[in-house]
Amino acid sequence: MRKIIIAGNWKMNNTISQAQDLIAGLTKNGGDMHKVEVIVAPPFTALRSVYDILGQSSVHVAAQNLFWEESGAYTGEVSAMMIKEAGCKWVIIGHSERRQLFGETDETVNKRARAALASGLKPIVCIGETLEEREGGRTYDVLHRQLDGGLNGLSAENMAKVTIAYEPVWAIGTGKTATSAQAQEAHEKIRAKLSSMFGQGVADKVRILYGGSMKPSNALELLSQPDVDGGLIGGASLNAHDFVEIIKAGIEAEKL
C-alpha cells in the first residue's frame, strides 16, 4: 500500500518568524500526523529555521527548487547540497509557476531531477496542462511529453525515490475546479504512462499527488480515489487549521 503524502508548498510566503508561527500551529494541532507522510516547503530563507523546530518529528522539509550544478557562478541559484545541509529531504521540481513564469522546460526539469537524486534528495516532479491545452484536447499529449522529458534517463531504481505531482494548471486560482473523477482519470493515465516507461511494478509504487487546489472541503473525496496518493497543497497549507484538516483527510483515506 502506498503511504499518502500531504505536502505544503508555501511558495513566496512567510518570513522566518511567520514560518515559525505556522509550524508551531501545525505541530500543536497535528495529532496523528505520523500516520501519513507530511512535508512542508518553506521559502529558502526559512528552511533551516523550520527544520530546527521540527527536529526529529515525522514532518519533513522540502525546498521549492534547486539548480543542477554543485557550485559556480550562478548568481541567485541554490544547489542540492545547500538545501540538503539546510535540512531538506525533498525538493519540488518543475512546478507550474516555475514553468510559466521562469521559463523552466522539460529539459531543465530533468537536469534538476538528476541533480536531486545524485545528492540523495527525493524529487517531487510536477506536471500538468493549461486550460488552453485541456480545451484543445491535448491534456495527455502534454502529460506524456512532460514525463518523457522530465524523467528521461532515469532508472527504475531512481523512480523508487521520485514522486509525481499532477497540477491541472487551469484549476489553480482560476475559480475552475477539477472533479474527483477528472483527477482520478489523469492520475490513472499518468500511472499507465509510467508503466510503459518503467514497468508496471515500478508504476504501482510511484506516488502521484494531486495539486489542483485541494482544500479541507474536497480533500477526502480526492484522496479516496484509487490513483491519488496525496496532495501538493498551496494556499491551504498557509493556514495551520486547514492544513491539519487535509492531513486528517489523508489519515481517513489511508483506512479505505
Residues carrying an active site annotation: 95, 167
Nearest-angstrom CA–CA distance, 117 and 153: 12
Which residue bears the cell 514553468?
A: 99
Q: Residue 130: phi, psi to the nearest 5?
A: -85, 170
- Do residues 39 and 7 lie in contact, with contact meaning Cβ atoms separated by under 8 Å? yes
CB atoms within 10 A of CB 30: 19
Q: Are 198 and 239 within 8 A, CB to CB?
A: no
Q: Which residue has the cell 504501482?
A: 204
- Answer yes or no: are the C-beta atoms of 224 and 253 closer than 8 Å: yes
Cα separation, 166 vs 193, whole angstroms: 13
Hey, is 84 helix, strand or coil?
helix
Quote the CA–CA distance of 95 and 138 in Å, as a whole number: 19
The set of cell numbers assigned to 57 is 518529528
Cβ–Cβ under 8 Å, residues 200 and 156: no
Phi, psi of 243 (to 5 degrees): -65, -40
The helix or strand, by DSSP H or E, that contains position 221, with its residue range, turns out to be helix 219-223
